[in-house]
Amino acid sequence: MDHHDARPHRVGLAALHHDPAGSWAPRLERHLLALGSLFTGMTVLRSAATDDRLLRAHGVRTEVDPPVAGPARIGHLRVAVLGAALAQGARPLLFCDLDRLLVWIRDRPGELASAVAEVGRADCTVFGRTPPAFASHPRVQRDTEGLVNEVYGIATGTGWDITAAARGLSARAARLLAASETGRYGVGTDAAWPLRVRSESGLTLAYREVEGLRFESADGAGDEVERAGGVAAWMRARDEDADGWAQRVAFARQTVTAIRDLAPLGGPPGGLSPPAPTGSAGRGG
């Protein structure tokens, strides 16, 4: 891997964004210039109901989500945004939801810059959460995502948090995934992407835990949080919502299905041998 590929100004951004109420617009206005300084080209796949004028005014290339429906929709959108970003030029990419990225640059700008600088050193870098960052999420996410991380650890022998959906990809890995059928796993691309890269001869994996991937959804739910009586009450309501649990259990099922298909638990004793570490080891939630 060319060392220069890992420089921040040689890294592109591939992000998804859904903000029909415009709740994230003030944060975009504050942080887009700083984000632009980290990336060579930013590509955002947005929902049709999301206004993209502010993004385009800052030179961000935006495309409207393709008309994909069904339970695997998120996975197909993730694959699609990789293809859209690569169409702007082959370079290493950071994939991350835009709302998570805005919280990351607000709270830990130096850590984000350091993470971007690592993109491309390995073909796929999984950015996971530190224990405090993981603990900042509602229980409905901690319990279901922790279970997924546990299954991934059994299958691979790692202790990674794979469910924060932030990935650093070399151009080669991004091309591989953009042309893959991993979108069929939906949110299960959390596991399918690193496992697909791992299965390709000559490609490398790395892992790094970061503090900046703390729970972000409350930042974009101002009115709901206010009506609930504050962040703690709003998060408690999420944990008491059966529909929310059903959705998160469905996401976990998609990811465990990907693990079952791509790293069968019935393989060699102890699961698959982990790759040589090129990043810090972590825990599985």
What does pLDDT average to over the chain? 87
Lowest mean pLDDT among 61-70, 160-169, 201-210, 268-277: 268-277
Burial environment of residue 62 by CB neighbours within 10 A (0 to 12, 13 to 18, 19 or more): middle
The answer to whether residue 5 scores a pLDDT higher than 90 is no
Residue ranges and CATH numbers for the domains of the chain are: 3-137+158-220 (3.90.550)
Element holding 195 (H helix, E strand): helix 189-199
Percent of the chain residues past pLDDT 70, beyond the cut: 84
Distance CA 239, CA 90 (A): 42
pLDDT of residue 226: 62
Segment 46-69 shows an average pLDDT of: 94
Distance CA 232, CA 234 (A): 5
pLDDT, tens only, 153-205: 999 999 999 999 999 999 999 999 999 999 999 999 999 999 999 999 999 99
Distance CA 155, CA 137 (A): 25
CA dihedral over 229, 28, 80, 200, signed as positive or negative: negative
Element holding 207 (H helix, E strand): strand 205-210
Phi then psi for 163, rounded to 5 degrees?
-100, 15
The answer to whether residue 274 scores a pLDDT higher than 80 is no
Higher pLDDT, 218 or 117: 117
